Amino acid sequence: MVTTSRLAVVSGGATGIGREIATAFAAQGDRVVIIGRRAGLLHQAGRDINRAAGAELVIPVGADLTDPAQVQRAADRIAEFGTVDVLVNNAGAIITPPAGDGLDALAASWRRDLDINLITAVLLTHALLSHLTRPGGRLIMISSAAAQRGGAGTHSAGSYAAAKAALHGWALGLARQLGRDGITVNVLAPGYIQDTGIFRGQDTPDFVATKIADTLVGRPGTPADVAAAVTYIASAGAGYLTGQIIGLNGGAVLGR
């Protein structure tokens, strides 16, 4: 069947921000591949989004994106659907603190954070690079305001901020490399976004109040805010936007 819709790939697409991004693409008629490790959640998200869109647009592809072999298998599967118009590297998480006080435990925690928040994006992007639409492809990294302002001082927050910051320099290099092919590369760095589960029960009323007080608009962000920004960056109208770190944080981190 011939289709004129685009093909978008969203990593970490089963829950939270990734699921909302996938929902937004499907709502505008795009086909969407969602990638995740947890098969049950992944397939349930696909069913729910398809039901809301009124069409079979979402394709779940299971993979642990820290595993190169699984990434390659996922990329080979995705290639069966045609060229990739939009790749959103959204997969990521804040890793639990080191299991002990020694350097071995610290190194293991930091390596795991780098794997989940940086290496996943590097591997998936590299595996799909030859499949990106030229010209007109859109490559989007989901980072964090933590990359711009630093972590909160704990080991886990520090490694998360460092891993997300590493996305920035890498993405800017990709923007230079791929611009001649008509592919844009941008980083979206959200601030505090509610209803994502990323803080794993740490979001007490005091925690949330502190995050909101940090903003200039007096409210937390939502997954829908992130999805709206992503769909703009991915749009045909954003063809002159590339090589940028875009803050989406309600003014908690001012532009620079």
Number of neighbouring beta carbons within 10 Å of residue 39: 11
Quick: pLDDT tens for 9-66.
Answer: 999 999 999 999 999 999 999 999 999 999 999 999 999 999 999 999 999 999 999 9
Extract the tokens encoding 6. Answer: 């685009």
pLDDT (0 to 100) of residue 98: 81
- The label of the residue with tokens 């937390």 reads 220
CA distances from 96 to 86, 110, 128 (A): 31, 10, 30
- Percentage of the chain beyond pLDDT 70 is 94
Positions marked catalytic = 160
pLDDT of residue 1: 34
List of residues 6+ apart from 204 with CB closer than 8 A: none
Give the chain's mean pLDDT: 93
Question: Which tens digits make up the pLDDT trace of 92-142?
Answer: 988 767 878 899 999 999 999 999 999 999 999 999 999 999 999 999 999
Task: Look up the pTM and report it.
Answer: 0.93
Question: Can you list the domains of the chain with their CATH numbers?
Answer: 7-248 (3.40.50.720)
